Structures are given as structure tokens and as C-alpha cells.
Amino acid sequence: MARTGPPHLDFRSDTRTVPDARMRRAMAEAKVGDDVYGDDPTVALVEERVAALLGAEAALFTPTGTLANLLAPLAAGPAGAPAPRVIAGEGSHMAFLEADGLRRFGGVELVTVGQRPDGLPEPDALAALLAVRADRPTVVCVENTAMMCSGNALDADATRAVAELAHRHGAHLHLDGARLANAAVALGVPPARLAGPADSVAFSVSKGLGAPAGALLCGSRAYVARARELRGELGGSLHQAGVLAAPALVALDRLPDLAADHDRAAALAALLAEVPGVQVMRPPRPTNMVMARLPAVPAGECAALLAGHGVLVLPLPNAHVRFVTHREHDMIGVRAAVRAVAAVSAAVSGARPARTTDEDPHRQRRRKHDDEATRART
């Protein structure tokens, strides 16, 4: 499929990375079996390697991070238990993009909780939710990096604090680590350290690591065995999955390369901050994302104006547009993106005065969640 923009100007997501020659060669030469029969050696290898990387007993290859996050809470309860209650940050991928699937296909009760600026669930709000007696198992989710918080990397202590709170109430802690590799590289710690406090971790190889598809759900041996059964029931078990596990193995060799993505994001943030009229949101421990806004221009319109200059970004419900840097970018593309933002900013500031009636983005986001909650109840 043709791209809609040149790779060096497509900042929508690190999922935009395409398999390169080495990955394609690995796919072509992959030793395969039938993973449904448990004898695909390449899948077995990637599962072993990611389990070791995250310090887990076992790992399960899934076609997508979304499926790993759906299996994660379902495998947490004892067999025969009712579908769990899932508590996830209101700006998390699970609450924002996976809620309908979790409810419909997992039967879970999804409850959102406010997040601190670093992405961690608000401890008091989480404690209050955990104190409510539930007639079903509870799964608390933490996202690292925290996407809606500009890709902030959470350190192990932050996750451990939530894990301890969850465990005091008998709850399971799931870590949505789609970009845990970015967090580990940014913090300069092994991924296992960040995964340690969690009971399960979903780890993606298809984001900045550049594999075409795939995630691994990690946990104890018994937990992963249960997830494996559920994966089959949901239609997520692939036969010659080795052709997807092979590029995932190549991706795992590329963790250190993520540092270059982070450097380009830092350069982009610094250059954007100098553009008149632009507000940049950078988190305490940045990774490969930059969120920015022109206060007078709604995010969707901002993204459309930038697309007119050949720069692709993602508008978000927090009134910002998201730039994600990845391995196919270079500094030429970063500078071109900054020039496009400067052109758009100059054009809109000449064309209209800053709006004073703009709704506060937090209120706007809360209202959206209220609307969703209302819809879910009706």
C-alpha cells in the first residue's frame, strides 16, 4: 500500500515503520512449524527471548497489542471466575481505544481513573475504586510509556507503588508496555526492572522496534497457559506464525536504536518551542513523542493544515497534535516539520486573533469521558 506522505515527514506513529531488507530476509528464511500445535521454533524463540528480557517465566506471542491487552485481564482471574473489572487511566490506550472491545469481547467492566501528569493513576482515586467491594476480580492497568502524557517513561518505583496498592486489595497489576522498550532506553535500565512490579506485561515489537506486527503477553507460566487457551478461543492463534516471529527477533536486537528516536524527539521539541505561537508539552521523562498545539486552532484543524504542508501528525482529544519520532526519520525531516509548523502558525496568527472562549483541554477531555460513560450506561 502506498504511503500518504514521505516517510521522513510522517510523524503520526512509530507503527508507521515498515520492515526493512533484513527483516524481510528473516521472514523469507524463517523456520516455521504450526504454533497451534506448539511446534513453531521461531515463535518459541521469540517467546523465550521476550520472557527473559522482561524477567518473566513465560511469554505468549499475539498478532497485536490490542489482543494482548484483551487477554491480559481475562487470564488474570481463576478459571470460572466472572469477567474482571478493569481499572485503566482515562487517557490510556486501553480506555481510549480498546474499551469497546474489552467490554464486548471480554465482558469486562471498564472503569477509568484520572492520571497524574506523569501518567500514573491518581493514587487516591485508585485507592477509592479499589476499596469498593467488587463481585469480580479486579485488574489495574498502568501504561508505560504513558501515551497521553506525551510518552512519559515511568520508573520502576512508580509502577511498584501502584502494584503494592493493587496487591493490598487482591488486584492484579497489568502493565501495558507497548513502548516499554522506549521507557527502558530513556531511563537507562533493563526492561525487566520496569516490568518487575507487574503481574503481566504486554510488550509490542511493532512500534519503534519496527516489526510488521506482534506483541508478547508475559507473566507466570500458569497465567500464560491460560492466556494461550483464551487466544485460541478469540481466534488469535496463527499457524505458521514464525514468519511474524522472525522479524520480531530482528526487532529485539534494535532496542538501543531507540535512543536515536528520543534524541530526534528532543530536538523537535526544542525547535518547536522556539516557534512563535506554539505550545509544546513535554513530560518529565520524555521518549519519542512530542505534543504541541496552536492555542487558537483545534487539533483536527491543525493536523489538516500541517498535512497541507506534507507533515502528518495525529490530533488527540487533549487538544494537542502528536509527533512520534521513529527509525525512518532524520534531522532533515525534523527541520522540515518545524518549518511547516512555523508556516501554519504564522498563517493562523495573521488570519485570526487567539480565541478567548477556548475550552480548557482538561474539561474538554473530562466531558468526552463523561459522554462516553453516559453512553456506556444507556
Residue numbers at the binding site for ligand PLP (CB under 6 A): 64-66, 69, 93, 143, 147, 176, 178, 204, 206, 215
Minimum CB separation of residue 240 from ligand PLP in Å reads 20
All 3 cell numbers of residue 282? 513535554
Are 30 and 42 in contact by the 8 Å Cβ rule? The answer is yes
Q: Name the residue whose CB lies closest to ligand PLP.
A: 65
Query: What is the Cα–Cα distance from 249 to 252, expressed in whole angstroms?
Result: 5
Minimum CB separation of residue 97 from ligand PLP in Å reads 7
Q: Please say which residue, 141 or 156, places its beta carbon nearer to ligand PLP.
A: 141
Q: Please say which residue, 68 or 278, places its beta carbon nearer to ligand PLP.
A: 68
- Separation in Å, CA 23 to CA 72, 81, 251, 315: 28, 41, 8, 31
Minimum CB separation of residue 15 from ligand PLP in Å reads 6
Q: Please say which residue, 19 or 65, places its beta carbon nearer to ligand PLP.
A: 65
Q: Which of 115, 76, 75, 123 is nearest to 95 (CA)?
A: 115
Minimum CB separation of residue 314 from ligand PLP in Å reads 11
Q: Please say which residue, 203 or 223, places its beta carbon nearer to ligand PLP.
A: 203
Are 185 and 177 in contact by the 8 Å Cβ rule? The answer is no
Query: What are the residues whose beta carbons fall under 8 Å from the beta carbon of 336, sequence distance 6 or more?
Result: 8, 9, 310, 311
Q: Please say which residue, 64 or 279, places its beta carbon nearer to ligand PLP.
A: 64
Minimum CB separation of residue 211 from ligand PLP in Å reads 10
Residue 113's beta-bridge partner residues? Answer: 89
Query: What is the Cα–Cα distance from 283 to 281, expressed in whole angstroms?
Result: 7
